[in-house]
Structure 1
Amino acid sequence: MLSNAVRRPARLIPLAFLAATLLGTLLLSLPVSTAGPDGAPLLTALFTAVSAVCVTGLIVQDTATYWSFFGQCVILLLFQIGGFGIMSGATLLGLMVKRRLQLSSRLVAQQETRSLGLGDVTGVLRLILLVTLGVELTVMAILTAQLHVRYGQPLPEAFWNGLFHAVSAFNNAGFSTYSDSLMSFVSDPVVLVPIMLAVIIGGLGFPVLYEFRRDQRGRPWTIHTRITLWGSAVLLVGGMAAILFYEWGNPDTLAGMSLGDKLLSALFTSAVARTAGFNSLDVGQFEAQTLAVHYFLMFVGGGSAGTAGGIKVTTFFLLFFFIWAEIRGNADTVAFRRRISYQTQRQALTVLFLGSLTVAIGTMLLLSVTKLELGVVLFEAISAFATVGLSTGITADLPPSGQLVIIALMFIGRVGTITLATALALRSVTKHYRYPEERPIVG
């Protein structure tokens, strides 16, 4: 049975995430994990463990006050495992011990990293380790120094807060050791900019980062890297412009700020809206139009094979190129002078459909068990599915059935709709025949 799972890594990945979730739930249920004398209720521990492993950041209890130092360490470990990729971490461990990879290990790692070929997996996994440690340590050092020098935090406290936020930012987890997330640092670029850069780097995806190293050898960028970089830039700048436009005169968000602070806050909000879950502004006070902008940014998410969630930047822009080709009447879908295969287009459509269906079902279920407005419920459902972690403040007020719906959305969103569907499939069938073709009327 184990050998069969290894031959089909898409089945093994959901099981690995489930195992990490169960272990995290057990640890967070212990009395030592909470600041109070009693352990956390099972649902609270389960919700927090799923949110951490799935690098989401939605919480039902304040991370800063409800969990003890041990509990916060468990949460940090869980979202480090979730962001790093359980399969990638296991393969890296085997690489460091044996100094080489077996074919089965390469196949498992490739499913999680989605690297372009088996020959690239070793390099991608090495890069994961180097980039993870490099970014997290750099951001930790900057935050520690700023928290200690400017804000007067004792060095051990500043170090822990810096480490926690650095790891949380790179893994796009959105967990914070402050009750108001990063709202206290809304005007501090020394805190917000490093966190934002860590979020962006982690959200690009490791295959893109691997392309940077390959590009130094004179090789051209792949279509995946081009779409991810250009698409991320468009979403970042476009989201910033939309947030500035809608929130400029909002007295509860940007209205009272200087021009520099407005630009910084809008840029930071646009960056974290696509998966990170931190907030320097009160999300509950956003205009309805800004929430609608967040629907789109959260659902699209970040780059493939990174720490970001959503349907991914490449999926969205591949569909854009596909629609553009249909409008122009072109038989081929072309992006950056490269023809996109029909199989890739089908995969993108499948991801979009399954993602939309999952959010729709989750929203209807939440509406069925609460009396909340559609806008805030939809925001919560998209945030959970896209593993973003932003909330208008309703998460803790959801009934147990509503929290279970959010748990399911977070798990499905992290594991991936296609990966989960493949894992649940009993077998794949290759048909040796094709039915006659017929074209129904469309539209």
Structure 2
Amino acid sequence: MVAFEVLRAVRVADAYTNLVLPALLRKHQLSGRDAGFATELAAGTLRRRATYDAVLAACIDRPLRKVEVKVLDALRLGTHQLLAMRVPQHAALSTTVDLVRSEVGPGAAGFANAVLRKVSRQDLDAWLAEIAPDRDTDPLAHDALVHSHPVWVVEALGEALDAVGAADEVGALLTADNVAPSVTLVARPGRSSRDDLPGEPTPFSPYGVVLASGDPGQVRAVADGVAGVQDEGSQLVAVALAEAALEGRDEEWLDLCAGPGGKSALLAGLAAGRGAGLLAVEKAPHRSALVARALAGADGVRGVVTADGTRPPLVAGTFDRVLVDAPCTGLGALRRRPESRWRRSPQDLEVLVDLQQRLLASALDLVRPGGVVLYATCSPVLAETRDVVAQALATRGDVELLDLAPQHAQVPDCAGPLPGTVQLWPHRHGTDAMFLALLRRTGEPDRD
């Protein structure tokens, strides 16, 4: 029922799995192994939706669009249990059929039983051999069905890999997108240390640990707000800005797109350790409130401003370090946001790229000459990474691109699509596919 309600919330209310699931687990009082099962059932079903729909289409004598949506959601849940989880066939069938009976009716339950019995006649590999397009003839369609990504996403990720000389790693990346990520915690400097947290130290960030199991909310440091849940790639973004070489003073830091506050909290601790302060800006009021909550009790916080980062009420040329963690397609975080791949479209890129260009331009105006801007996206798509940075470099005579490689010597195979940039990958580094570019303001802009 929890997994079914997650799918319904995603479908009806455009909910995010990672936000709606905890509330449903509490509502149904699930914890431990039951919570883990419900999480995998919901997230795994959403990740593999395209694959399962192709299997179901082969088992149903009508187009899927003519199947009642509640029944289709249940069939997807049953298919995930049958083809990707260690659930006995009889249990997967009976629980799914019972769910359909209670939510829709006996006639729909009989239909679900018949369909799932057809699904259960062979394993996933056999189904893929039967229904997947030939890879030699149509590699995009093949990879899209086998790895359950939209065709345009497969193409965009392939182009991003090709730009760093790794075109042959498309399958590995798509496979990694379908593996549930481990929970990674971050210590917030000045308030906690990595030694205070359970789990194995992260290989690249000096502030993180990978939690072996359990609810991160039950970790005392997380519950107290002195540590948080944060992907290692996001930690490296904050660290990259903090460790960048700077000319002159180092007192005023700015997070221009701060919501929901994880990077701000790490930056605030790093800033306070040097006697600097962090100002956070976030446009959406509800996300601004999340930033304020993440920063509550932290030293080195100048405040949280609810404002549009493209035209914030701030004085130009006053900040020493600026982070632009720009809104993006999120195609680098498909492991943890399984529904994102089905929500985004190529048309979204035009709007997002325009916003990213304006945010980066705003950041470059706000930083002082000699100061640095770290531009980051949770997407490897070239339009959002290479092209945005290249546009700023081409249109401004007061900006130079700095080399991030020396700061990331401990991270193998992370060269980005522009010299000096960094691109992290789920299949190589076990992180979200974060892109990082460091720019220095060299002087006053040419307004001609």
Instruction: Give the structure-2-normalised TM-score.
Output: 0.30
TM-score (norm 1): 0.30
Larger Rg over CA atoms: 2
Q: Which has the higher helix share?
A: 1
- The structure, 1 or 2, with the larger RCO (C-alpha pairs under 8 Å, 6+ apart) is 1
Higher strand content, 1 or 2: 2
